[in-house]
Structure 1
Amino acid sequence: MPLTLVSRGGHTWRLTEQIGSGSEGFVYGVDDDRPLVAKLVPDPPDAEAYRRRVACLVRQRREPRTVGLLSGSPVRLAWPLVQVRTAGGTDADRVDGYVMTDMRHAYQPFSHLLGTSARRGFLPGATWETGLRAALALARLLAELHAEGYVVGDLKPDNLWVDETGRVGMADVDSWQFRDGREVFPGRMRTPGYTAPERTGARAGTPPSAASDDFTLAVLVHQLLMAGLHPFAGHPADGRDYLSYDDNVLHGRCRLVDRTSVLLPRSVPPADLLPRRLADLLRTTFGGAPRRPTATEWADALAAELGAGRLKKCAVNAHHVHTVERPWCPWCDQAERGTDSYPGPTREAR
């Protein structure tokens, strides 16, 4: 029997199929003429605090600091629109959640831009320039969030969306860290491979900050520009066992910072495909500098790389786009080693 949701004002929605799940909740389709979905969180650590969190976000949707974030089309944030609970049963049986915009009507999952097969199948026109534009859109969105006092905390591909032009959207707003009056709602979540070093290992309970978001932004920028390759990927070159991205982060194993620290397959994209200014920002972020580049600094640098005359199209494969700083095509180099990250659309997609 389909679940029914009810708002505080008495409006009801009928849920359709389950379309996603995460570490805390489940996302369902909503039977409505508008593109809506609902997120339900069955067992939050503190149910009353979670209800206050969602209620604050719903109210903040109409506040000046948030109105600008939600302007434009398509909408960039799956912001909580209405606070809801499941109907029927006892109060203890009811599950809290909220209704939000269904990002699927305008975007693809972010991961579709990172993997060659998914990119070719779902975003067939995407090139390296698309990744560059998505990196810029993400950096700008994060800079706007930070300026308004929001910290994402659990920034990762699973919470992000992208379209064929490189526009970016973000979901899971209810996990953010933010202030409402005197109350601070802390960021609770973290994801292996997408967590700053000060929040991993023994310091895993450290609350997120704008600086920790900036670290994860750099990880995602690297993946967008390196055809999905994580910056801390690779087997330790010192003979130790590979444990995880996080272990490599804590031990500084990153090809871009120290090319002798990890072993990687020959098929991965060459490190020198990056424009110098972007490579410098990545090295500063991953090399443990006292201050990381901010989302605003990333946005400025990425916008410059999209300026007139900064991109070049390969004469052999029109789907190969790269920076003018590289005298020859890095994607053709990669293809010669057995893998082409941007082979062009499939015959069916054309």
Structure 2
Amino acid sequence: MTVALTVVSGNGRAWRLTEQIGSGSEGFVYGVEDTRPLVAKLVPDPPDPEAFRRRVARLVRQRREPRTVELLSGTPVRLSWPLVPVRTAGGGPERVDGYVMTDMRHAYQPFSHLLDPHARRAHLPAATWATALCAALALARLLARVHAEGYVVGDLKPDNLWVDETGRIGMADVDSWQFTDGRDTFAGRMRTPGYTAPERIAAPAGAPPDSASDDFALAVLVHQLLVAGLHPFAGHPAGGGCLRDYTSYDDNVVHGRCRLLDRTSVLLPRSAPPADLLPRPLAEGFRAAFAPAGRRPTAAGWARSLAAELAPGRLKVCAVNARHVHTVERPWCPWCDQAGQGFDSYPDDPREDA
């Protein structure tokens, strides 16, 4: 969709916007006509316009602070940080605020391409379970760095993430993060069903997140990466010898309905990847992350566990299908087991439909 919009920074620098390339619960993202890979996010109706402008201005300023400079170092850039506040050109109250940021599409693909088997075969045909492990490790390490520098993501989910063919990870939507600037605290505002920690589900709307709630969302995402996109709280509720009406991921989270916690709590399709494809240390980490009284692993803890599974000798290639990679702990191939149930997450020919 082509638009005819121009945005202007405080010092008068103007950018012409091109097509709309994305939208979310708060705003819209547009391409930017520039020699650099840039996009612009516009937020037409923030709950508190002045607070939104102040938040963006502080994030732009923090880009020059040592803690943020370190986060933004490296190539390709891992965070699509606000570069400059902008407003749509023209006078009157209809002007819309936003900011210009790095266009992650120049180095990454949408994170969902690695989770969905069909999208993975189309866009990341060389990806294997080793790629998923690398992406999980990169995500855990990046979140650990974000936490170490005093930031909380607050709304960690696939829509905010990017991935490349080697498993490197990027993050966007930094404007929703929770952070401090001097004596001011800018609380996290957003939460997404299926990626919200149980303590936040039960909390009133607007309750601030913390690093532990990020760690819950991280565990969900790592599980999805390693179990071919399967959400850990997926499944039709079951119990007491009868089926119950499915409500939502969040309802399953609150009631602890999770295959890894209790195999009898949910019903999944026969084609779902087998639960025992996970190496024991990672399965134990998920149980700790999802159990009501579990000691939830931190992002740094996940990074250590995932790095150990990528150590030499920890991965095995299936003798039948070279794209079936799995942990050496499992004596036979879990992906062949899945294929025997009617669906292959990593087929030998990525052009073949399952």
Give the structure-1-normalised TM-score: 0.97
| 1:288 CA drift (Å) | 1.7
Kept in 2: contact 1:42–1:96 (CA 8 A): yes
Aligned to 1:53: 55
> Per-residue displacement from partner, 1:281-324 (whole Å, max 9, x unpaired)?
00001012353110000000000000010000000000000000
Sequence identity, in percent? Answer: 79
Kept in 2: contact 1:121–1:345 (CA 8 A): no
| 1:202 CA drift (Å) | 5.2
Within 5 Å, give how 1:1-350 maps onto structure 2: 2-90=4-92, 92-201=93-202, 203-238=204-239, 239-347=243-351
| 1:2 CA drift (Å) | 1.1
Kept in 2: contact 1:120–1:344 (CA 8 A): no
The structure-2 alpha-carbon separation of the partners of 1:58 and 1:134, relative to structure 1 and needing over 3 Å to count, comes to same
Provide structure 1 residue ranges, at least 5 long, that are not aligned to the other structure: none
The structure-2 alpha-carbon separation of the partners of 1:340 and 1:186, relative to structure 1 and needing over 3 Å to count, comes to same
State the SS of the aligned residue for 1:93.
Answer: coil
Q: Which amino acid is 1:67 matched to? A: V
State the SS of the aligned residue for 2:4.
Answer: coil
Length, aligned pairs only: 347
The structure-2 alpha-carbon separation of the partners of 1:236 and 1:347, relative to structure 1 and needing over 3 Å to count, comes to closer
Q: 1:318 and 1:96 mapped to 2: Cα distance?
A: 50
Kept in 2: contact 1:80–1:100 (CA 8 A): yes
Kept in 1: contact 2:154–2:210 (CA 8 A): yes
> Per-residue displacement from partner, 1:14-63 (whole Å, max 9, x unpaired)?
00000000000000000001100000001111111100100010011110
> Per-residue displacement from partner, 1:184-216 (whole Å, max 9, x unpaired)?
000000001110001114544321100000000
Provide structure 2 residue ranges, at least 5 long, that are not aligned to the other structure: none
Q: Which amino acid is 1:46 matched to? A: D
Q: Which amino acid is 2:334 matched to? A: P
| 1:240 CA drift (Å) | 1.6
State the SS of the aligned residue for 2:40.
Answer: strand
Q: 1:329 and 1:61 mapped to 2: Cα distance?
A: 46
| 1:217 CA drift (Å) | 0.2
Q: 2:295 and 2:276 mapped to 1: Cα distance?
A: 24
Q: 2:205 and 2:333 mapped to 1: Cα distance?
A: 41
Kept in 1: contact 2:80–2:174 (CA 8 A): yes
4+ long deviations beyond 2 Å: 201-206, 344-348
* RMSD across aligned positions (CA): 1.1
State the SS of the aligned residue for 1:68.
Answer: helix
Kept in 1: contact 2:122–2:351 (CA 8 A): no
Q: 2:39 and 2:167 mapped to 1: Cα distance?
A: 23
Q: 2:334 and 2:98 mapped to 1: Cα distance?
A: 47
